[in-house]
Structures are given as C-alpha cells and as structure tokens.
Amino acid sequence: MIYEFEGRTEKEAIDRAAEELGLEKDDFDVEILETQRQSLFKKGFVKIKVHTDKPESAAAPSGGRKGRAQDSSERSSGEQERESEQFSQAVFGDPEAKNEFEQKLIDFVAGLIEHMGYSGKVSVLFREEHKIGLKIDSEYSSILIGKKGKNLDALQLLANIYAGRQDRDDIRVILDSENYRIRREESLVRLAYTVADRVRENRGSILLEPMNPFDRRLIHTTLNDIADVETKSEGEGLYKQVRVYYRGFK
C-alpha cells in the first residue's frame, strides 16, 4: 500500500504517518516527494510517500482523526490541482480590500508614495493569519525599493506603525514591489550556503554586510541545520551584521 502525508518538517510528516497508519516507523519505507523551504510568502512543508507491506486493515488511516493520509492511487490529479488552487486562493485571494482596516492601510501606503512625489497603485498581495502583504505597482519601483531594499523597509516600518495605531498590533504588514522580497530571499539563501562552504574550507569566519532583522533571521535559519557552522549577530542598531564561523574557530 502507498500513502502520502505532509508536515512542516520531515519528522512531523513521518510521525503523522506512523500515528494515522497505526504502525511503527520501522514498518514502512519513506520516500521524500517534495520539500518547500519556509519563506516570506510560503509556509514550509515536506511531502512524503509511505510504502508498507502491512495488510490494509493494519495500515488504514484512523477513522477517529481526519488527516492528510490518502491512498495515492485514489487521488486524481484533478483533486490535487483543486487543493492547490484552494490554498492559493486562501493565501493570495482578492487584491481588493476586504474590510475597513485593509482599505485604510492601502490608502496610507498610497499616500506615503504620493507624498514622496511618485505615483503607484497599492493592492493586497496575500493574507495570512496575523500577516498581510501589500504590493506596490509603480514605474518608480526601483526608487521605492531603494538600495538593498532600504526604502521599502522604511515604508514597511511606517505601515506597521500605522497598523498599530489602528489597534492592529496583531497584524504584521509586509510590503513588496516587483517581487523584490522573493528575489532578495533567494539571493540571501544562496549567499548563506556559499559562505558556509567557505568557512568550512578555511576553518575560519566571515562577517556579512549589515542587514535588517528579517534578512539576518533568514541567514540564521538557513544555516541552523549545518552541524559544523554557527552564526551570530554583531553590532548595534537595526542593521547588524551576521558572522558565519566554523565551530571551534577562535
């Protein structure tokens, strides 16, 4: 029998498979189908395929708990596409404001851009629990983003302060333009792995450029699972530097 499970990590997916199938972990083989690293716009997850020779009665998902397990032979591509589409709609949804707070937030950011002397359209990029993303479409995007995203970070900071003044401290506002956040994230992940390889080769350390808190956290998270490499933030203020160093380096 073949089943598929998902989890935020490989361990969580395997634990879920064992629980729902009522088997020990040694009773089935695991094949990793897909891994998605957590990012600004996507939640991390791991999809696995479980192969077991146990009789169907012993390897059936528990009826008392509805999970993600399902015989892969029974899942049509249409079902999987519909699930993917429903997830996409739930996250990215309607670009127009859905309530008064969202409209006020859009108007506030649009007003900031106008006061800077530039034109642009602001719309909802995505919605998540305790997080909302706004997209700025403008012919002046390169200026609004600024060098290494510093102008965009400043606009984002003001947007979050405004949200707090609207009694929405529970909401984190993310601003993006021209997919800068995604491109920046991918660039930082590549940088992190490249630097990690260098410090492992020279058994030393490398100090990266000053970064905002989100970028620093991404570097720390990316290298967290590399056993012989560690990271730490150095400096004062908002834009600190990350030092990547080989364990045992003095």
| pLDDT computed for residue 124 by the predictor | 92
- Tens digit of each residue's pLDDT (9 = 90 or more) over 186-223: 899 999 999 999 998 888 999 999 988 888 999 998 99
Domain termination residue (choose one: 44, 59, 90): 90
| pLDDT computed for residue 237 by the predictor | 83
CB 199 within 8 A of CB 245: yes
Strand partners, 124: 134
Domain termination residue (choose one: 90, 112, 147): 90
The residue range of the domain holding 46 is 2-90
Q: Are residues 231 and 160 in the same domain?
A: no
Torsion angle of the four alpha carbons 136, 139, 144, 147, in this order, in degrees rounded to the nearest 10: 130
- Tens digit of each residue's pLDDT (9 = 90 or more) over 134-161: 999 999 999 999 988 889 999 999 999 9
CA–CA gap between residue 180 and residue 16 (Å, rounded): 36
**Is this structure's pTM higher than 0.85?**
no
Lowest mean pLDDT among 1-5, 103-107, 142-146, 203-207: 1-5
In this structure, what token pair is assigned to residue 136? 């700025």
Number of domains within the chain: 3
Q: Are residues 84 and 12 in the same domain?
A: yes
Residue 191 lies in a domain: yes
Domain termination residue (choose one: 90, 112, 133): 90
